[in-house]
Amino acid sequence: MFSGTGSLNVYGTYNNGIHTKSYVVIDKGVNLYVNTTINHGIKASDAVVINGGIINIESSGEGAKGINCEKDIVINGGRTNVICTGNGEWDTEDLDTKAATCIKCDSIMTIKGGEINVKATGSGGKGLKADWEAYISGGKLHILTTGGVYSSNGDTSSPKGIKIGTKNVHGLLNISGGNIMVRTEGQKGEGIESKGSLTISDGTVMVSAYDDAINSAGDMYLMGGTIVAVGRNNDGIDANGNMYIQDGNIVKLRSEERRVGKECRS
């Protein structure tokens, strides 16, 4: 646990900056700076919980994560700034591409408050990524990716602002509040993607993406809030399942044509 007042600077040149086989908890008053050139900035097995403080992380390793947890990540407050400049790499164990990601968990990500500013500049880079589910109910999120596609051994990894789910896991993304701004500048970069269902019921969501701005592999539910989606080379909003529009203010743009999705029911 990191608590109290004061500052801590951590430099990782051989492995992770901070690594625990249990929990990392960061409370109010903490001023933490982590710089890593090989692996992850902060790595935990059971959970990463950020209740407050100021956290600045710079990670430059290939496929490295700014914050990485094998289970859950919970952000309740504070200011978290993460910059990942590493490119993607080939995972020789999983035989898959692995992208550098600013904040990543293998299970569930929950964001209730605070300010989150993340930037990924490498090929295939991701802003936020959860393998199972993500719940965003508050806070201010600013997410930027500038890299293009990473390719290796016939497999590719495209840049994403927010990605929920994997090739084998149907993710679930639920946005019920907060102020979210996402921009992807690199080739084939998508703004927000869920490999399963996606629900927006409140908050402000503004996305400008090279490819699809907001995309779901399953059903999409737009139930409230304000949504601005610009797909500069593809769809503003794209549901590969059914799309249900119940309420909210929605502005969608696509460069070539204007459309919502394959099927729309309200």
Residue 59 confidence class, pLDDT cut points 50, 70, 90:
very high
Instruction: For the chain, give the mean pLDDT.
Output: 93
- pLDDT at residue 185, rounded to an integer: 95
User: How far is Cα 65 from Cα 115, in angstroms, rounded to an integer?
Assistant: 19
Res 258 pLDDT > 80: no
- pLDDT at residue 56, rounded to an integer: 98
* pLDDT tens-digit readout, 185-241: 999 999 999 999 999 999 999 999 999 999 999 999 999 999 999 999 999 999 999
- pLDDT at residue 254, rounded to an integer: 62
* pLDDT tens-digit readout, 135-185: 999 999 999 999 999 999 888 999 999 999 988 888 999 999 999 999 999
Encoded tokens for 247: 């309420």
- pLDDT at residue 255, rounded to an integer: 57
Res 249 pLDDT > 60: yes
Residue 259 confidence class, pLDDT cut points 50, 70, 90:
very low
- Letter string b/e over residues 125-151, b meaning 16 or more CB atoms within 10 A of that residue's CB: bbbbbbbbbbbbbbbebbbbbbbbbbe
| pTM (two decimals) | 0.93
Q: 28 φ, ψ to 5°? A: -60, 145
- pLDDT at residue 80, rounded to an integer: 98
- pLDDT at residue 99, rounded to an integer: 92
- pLDDT at residue 263, rounded to an integer: 38
User: How far is Cα 186 from Cα 194, in angstroms, rounded to an integer?
Assistant: 19
More confident residue, 143 or 98: 143
- pLDDT at residue 154, rounded to an integer: 84
One-letter amino acid for residue 188 of the chain: K
- pLDDT at residue 167, rounded to an integer: 81
* pLDDT tens-digit readout, 28-55: 999 999 999 989 999 999 999 999 999 9
Which DSSP string do the residues of the chain spell out, in sequence order?
-B-SSEEEEEEESSS-SEEESSEEEE-TTEEEEEEESSS-SEEESSEEEE-SSEEEEEE-STT-EEEEESSEEEE-SSEEEEEE----EEETTTTEEE--EEEEESSEEEE-SSEEEEEE-STT-EEEEESSEEEE-SSEEEEEE----EEETTEEE--EEEEE--SSS--EEEEEEEEEEEEE-STT-EEEEESSEEEEEEEEEEEEESS-SEEESS-EEE-SSEEEEEESSS-SEEESS-EEE-SSEEEEEESS-----S-EE-
